[in-house]
């Protein structure tokens, strides 16, 4: 037995009654009855109630000890009387009669309470993260994170994947996010970049013949934060496999995620075989490439209805003539919803920058009619056509929006969420996974009209090289895929392009010369010329997986030491200024914007 403790704070049970024990931990809570003092002692494992009476010579001293002071006590384990058993506590049938104690770590007046369910500002939580992390919920989240990572690592090992580390100081790449740069002392004027992902390294590992690789990989991207996106750094379960097709990757990852989510959550999985939705379908049916499939609402395109002569909705008809589209969302059996339900949604849409959401409800007397402000614009035949197209029924309502495709996707996607929320259609108690597949290789920047890679420039186009129509680059689809769960993008992956000539060709479409490709991707393009196996992989985001499992809406709740929105670490005071000498060694001169 060591000098601090014989048991942890969640171990003592009835069987220990009568024994002298040593406990160590933080003072979670005191209840001082004047002649009787209760002390809840807390550690990583739990809480044990300790008790001391006035006759004990240490009583006065213990009464004065601050909360969150670290002490150890020795004392005798005793039964609690039946009325005083605490069922909330695993150790609640017993308590420890303190005989003596030591203060191991004193505690000043707390800037924020530890034992409290109150919420605190991020600022104080991050500044005193070590206190925040003592609190039950986040403490458990971080433990969950550890367990999830161990589990993933173990599963990967079982599947025959080898874990390798890849460099943290590497080279800047032209595609993708902004890099974090590190100046090189030995190479004046040159910079390393922190890896945005070990993308090129994992491909090199495949070219090196290792067959199956994984890593719990830190990734660094200098982009602005969101609630589900830490500034600076995050972790991926990075994996890559040789001699695989898309389906082989799917099989591995699907099973891995199903096992993980079943093990660490009680929520139901809506699909154990993840549905595969093409990128273009996703944008049509959900307005987004990260649809929340818990939401049953689906968007339908009914543009063609507005070229009919028996539809007199002139505003939409005019817009359609000039290239806009009309899409709609059908809500089941909403004919008895009050006017305010519809008007609120219309008002909400206007607030979101749309021109509003038109709506009508399908009803039937002798014939099918549309009720609502725009109902009168549709003939019975037109309504029948809409019903056929959207599978709507009498009693359903239809919300319509008309705009240019991109804006229309944006607003219908938001409307889908909003309407589902108002109608309470989303079951919070399930996980709905899906694959988004068939991403286009390229996209057009609407402003510059330039063709860019839409996702990963190293992805393999789907056609045979000879059949690819390079004159229509926007039509080229790639073996590129995402996993989405409950509307959260969890991973991105691809079958990689391992053919150098094809790589040069694709980069040339995005405006890179052969020389630029050779310069920027020298390691990889060179490696591909010396016997590269076909290979592919994916990289599920660990922080987001844990966020979903912990039922949290913010990534900082599952990150031990996160930075704030301005990418500052308030605890360690980073980033910070450096000395003149450090700058000089690095051949740097600061020229700050005023």
Tokens of 287: 């307005």
Helices (H), 337-404: 339-351, 380-390
- The whole-angstrom separation of Cα 219 and Cα 160 is 24
Site string for RNA, 388-407 (x = CB under 7 A): --------------------
If one asks whether residue 110 binds RNA (CB under 7 A), the answer comes out as: yes
Residues 481-500 that bind RNA (CB under 7 A): 492
569 contacts: CB under 8 Å, gap ≥ 6: 126, 561, 563, 575
If one asks whether residue 85 binds RNA (CB under 7 A), the answer comes out as: yes
If one asks whether residue 543 binds RNA (CB under 7 A), the answer comes out as: no
If one asks whether residue 54 binds RNA (CB under 7 A), the answer comes out as: yes
If one asks whether residue 51 binds RNA (CB under 7 A), the answer comes out as: yes
Q: How many residues bind RNA (CB under 7 A)?
A: 71
H/E stretch holding 504 reads helix 500-509
Phi-psi region of 34 (alpha: psi -120 to 50; beta: other; left: phi over 0): left
- The whole-angstrom separation of Cα 517 and Cα 535 is 20
Q: Are 548 and 488 in contact (CB under 8 A)?
A: yes
If one asks whether residue 347 binds RNA (CB under 7 A), the answer comes out as: no
Residue with smaller CB distance to RNA, 32 or 163: 32
If one asks whether residue 576 binds RNA (CB under 7 A), the answer comes out as: no
Q: Are 542 and 236 in contact (CB under 8 A)?
A: yes
- The whole-angstrom separation of Cα 340 and Cα 345 is 8
If one asks whether residue 279 binds RNA (CB under 7 A), the answer comes out as: no
Residues 556-575 that bind RNA (CB under 7 A): 556, 564-566, 568
Pairing of strands 430-431, 268-269: parallel
If one asks whether residue 92 binds RNA (CB under 7 A), the answer comes out as: yes
Query: Min. distance of Cβ 113 from RNA in angstroms?
Result: 6
If one asks whether residue 168 binds RNA (CB under 7 A), the answer comes out as: no
Query: Min. distance of Cβ 461 from RNA in angstroms?
Result: 14
Residue with smaller CB distance to RNA, 36 or 394: 36
Among the residue ranges 62-70, 157-165, 355-363, 541-549, the one whose residues contact RNA (CB under 7 A): 62-70
Q: Are 404 and 323 in contact (CB under 8 A)?
A: yes
If one asks whether residue 416 binds RNA (CB under 7 A), the answer comes out as: no
Q: Within the chain, what is the greatest distance between any pair of CA atoms? A: 97
Query: Min. distance of Cβ 215 from RNA in angstroms?
Result: 14
E-assigned strand segments in 143-230: 162-163, 181-183, 191-193, 212-221
Tell me which of 2, 118, 322, 448 binds RNA, using CB under 7 A: 118
If one asks whether residue 45 binds RNA (CB under 7 A), the answer comes out as: no
Phi-psi region of 557 (alpha: psi -120 to 50; beta: other; left: phi over 0): alpha
If one asks whether residue 527 binds RNA (CB under 7 A), the answer comes out as: no
Residue with smaller CB distance to RNA, 13 or 255: 13
- What backbone phi and psi angles, to 5 degrees, belong to 483? -110, 135
Query: Min. distance of Cβ 143 from RNA in angstroms?
Result: 22
Residue with smaller CB distance to RNA, 89 or 374: 89
Tell me which of 178, 190, 318, 391 binds RNA, using CB under 7 A: 178
Among the residue ranges 28-36, 163-171, 323-331, 364-372, the one whose residues contact RNA (CB under 7 A): 28-36
If one asks whether residue 121 binds RNA (CB under 7 A), the answer comes out as: yes
Tokens of 396: 């359903």
Residue with smaller CB distance to RNA, 196 or 412: 196
Among the residue ranges 104-112, 207-215, 357-365, 526-534, the one whose residues contact RNA (CB under 7 A): 104-112
Tell me which of 2, 15, 57, 88 binds RNA, using CB under 7 A: 88
If one asks whether residue 40 binds RNA (CB under 7 A), the answer comes out as: yes
In order of 184, 232, 320, 564, the CA distances from 181 in angstroms are: 9, 12, 48, 20
Query: Min. distance of Cβ 514 from RNA in angstroms?
Result: 19
Query: Min. distance of Cβ 590 from RNA in angstroms?
Result: 17
- What backbone phi and psi angles, to 5 degrees, belong to 340? -65, -30
If one asks whether residue 133 binds RNA (CB under 7 A), the answer comes out as: no
Q: Are 558 and 547 in contact (CB under 8 A)?
A: yes
Among the residue ranges 11-19, 161-169, 170-178, 525-533, the one whose residues contact RNA (CB under 7 A): 170-178
Query: Min. distance of Cβ 579 from RNA in angstroms?
Result: 23
Which residue is listed with tokens 């609190």? 135
Q: Is 530 exposed, middle or buried (0-12, 13-18, 19+ CB in 10 A)?
A: exposed
Query: Min. distance of Cβ 497 from RNA in angstroms?
Result: 12
Among the residue ranges 16-24, 122-130, 269-277, 310-318, the one whose residues contact RNA (CB under 7 A): 122-130
Among the residue ranges 164-172, 269-277, 355-363, 454-462, the one whose residues contact RNA (CB under 7 A): 454-462
Site string for RNA, 424-443 (x = CB under 7 A): --------------------
Residue with smaller CB distance to RNA, 362 or 506: 506
Residue with smaller CB distance to RNA, 16 or 95: 95
Among the residue ranges 61-69, 136-144, 392-400, 498-506, the one whose residues contact RNA (CB under 7 A): 61-69
Residue with smaller CB distance to RNA, 221 or 418: 221
Q: Are 458 and 527 in contact (CB under 8 A)?
A: no
E-assigned strand segments in 164-226: 181-183, 191-193, 212-221
In order of 54, 520, 523, 532, the CA distances from 526 in angstroms are: 79, 11, 6, 10
In order of 253, 260, 435, 590, the CA distances from 551 in angstroms are: 21, 14, 21, 44
- The whole-angstrom separation of Cα 349 and Cα 244 is 45
Site string for RNA, 199-228 (x = CB under 7 A): x---------------------x-xxxxxx
Query: Min. distance of Cβ 225 from RNA in angstroms?
Result: 6
555 contacts: CB under 8 Å, gap ≥ 6: 227, 228, 229, 230, 234, 543, 544, 547, 562
Q: Are 396 and 331 in contact (CB under 8 A)?
A: yes
Residue with smaller CB distance to RNA, 53 or 314: 53
If one asks whether residue 82 binds RNA (CB under 7 A), the answer comes out as: no
């Amino acid at each position: 037995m060591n000098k601090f403790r014989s048991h942890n704070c969640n171990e003592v049970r009835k069987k220990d009654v009568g024994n002298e024990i040593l406990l160590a931990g933080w003072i979670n809570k005191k209840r001082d009855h004047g002649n009787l003092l209760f002390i809840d002692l807390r550690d990583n494992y739990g809480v044990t109630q300790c008790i001391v009476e006035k006759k004990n010579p240490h009583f006065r001293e213990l009464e004065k000890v601050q909360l969150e002071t670290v002490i150890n006590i020795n004392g005798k384990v005793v039964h609690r009387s039946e009325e005083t058993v605490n069922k909330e506590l695993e150790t609640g049938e017993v308590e420890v009669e303190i005989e003596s104690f030591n203060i191991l770590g004193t505690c000043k007046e707390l800037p924020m309470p530890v034992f409290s369910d109150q919420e605190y500002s991020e600022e104080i939580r991050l500044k005193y993260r070590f206190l925040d992390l003592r609190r039950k919920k986040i403490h458990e989240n971080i433990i969950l994170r550890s367990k999830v990572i161990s589990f993933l690592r173990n599963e990967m090992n079982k599947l025959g994947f080898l874990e390798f580390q890849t460099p943290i100081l590497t080279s800047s790449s032209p595609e993708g996010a902004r890099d974090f740069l590190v100046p090189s002392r030995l190479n004046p004027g040159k910079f390393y970049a922190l890896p945005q992902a070990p993308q090129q390294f994992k491909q090199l590992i495949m070219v090196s013949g290792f067959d199956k690789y994984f890593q719990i990989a830190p990734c660094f991207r200098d982009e602005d934060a969101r609630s589900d996106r830490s500034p600076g750094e995050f972790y991926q379960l990075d994996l890559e496999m040789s001699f695989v097709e898309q389906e082989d990757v799917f099989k591995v990852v699907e099973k891995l995620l199903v096992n993980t989510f079943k093990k660490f959550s009680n929520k139901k999985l809506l699909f154990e075989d993840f549905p595969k939705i093409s990128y273009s379908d996703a944008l049509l049916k959900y307005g987004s490439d990260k649809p929340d499939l818990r939401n049953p609402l689906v968007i339908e395109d009914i543009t063609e209805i507005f070229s009919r002569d028996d539809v007199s909705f002139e505003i939409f008809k005019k817009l359609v003539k000039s290239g806009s589209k009309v899409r709609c969302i059908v809500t089941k059996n909403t004919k008895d919803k009050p006017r305010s339900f519809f008007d609120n949604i219309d008002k909400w849409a206007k607030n979101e920058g749309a021109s509003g959401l038109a709506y009508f409800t399908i009803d039937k007397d002798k014939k099918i009619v549309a009720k609502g402000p725009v109902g009168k614009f549709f003939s019975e035949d037109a309504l029948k056509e809409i019903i056929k197209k959207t599978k709507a029924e009498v009693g359903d309502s239809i919300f319509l929006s008309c705009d240019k495709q991109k804006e229309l996707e944006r607003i219908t996607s938001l409307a889908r969420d909003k309407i589902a929320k108002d109608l309470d259609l989303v079951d919070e108690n399930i996980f709905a996974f899906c694959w988004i597949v068939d991403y286009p290789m390229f996209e057009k920047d609407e402003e510059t009209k330039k063709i860019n890679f839409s996702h990963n420039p190293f992805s393999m186009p789907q056609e045979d090289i000879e059949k690819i129509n390079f004159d229509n680059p926007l039509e080229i689809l790639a073996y590129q895929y995402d996993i989405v769960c409950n509307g959260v993008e969890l991973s991105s992956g691809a079958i990689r392009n391992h053919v150098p000539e094809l790589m040069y060709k694709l980069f040339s479409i995005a405006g890179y010369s052969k020389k630029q490709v050779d310069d920027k991707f020298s390691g990889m393009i060179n490696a591909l010329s010396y016997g590269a196996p076909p290979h592919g992989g994916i990289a599920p985001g660990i922080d987001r997986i844990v966020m979903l499992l912990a039922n949290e809406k913010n990534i900082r709740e599952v990150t031990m030491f996160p930075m704030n929105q301005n990418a500052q670490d308030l605890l360690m005071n980073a980033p910070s200024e450096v000395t003149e000498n450090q700058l000089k060694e690095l051949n740097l001169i600061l020229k700050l914007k005023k």
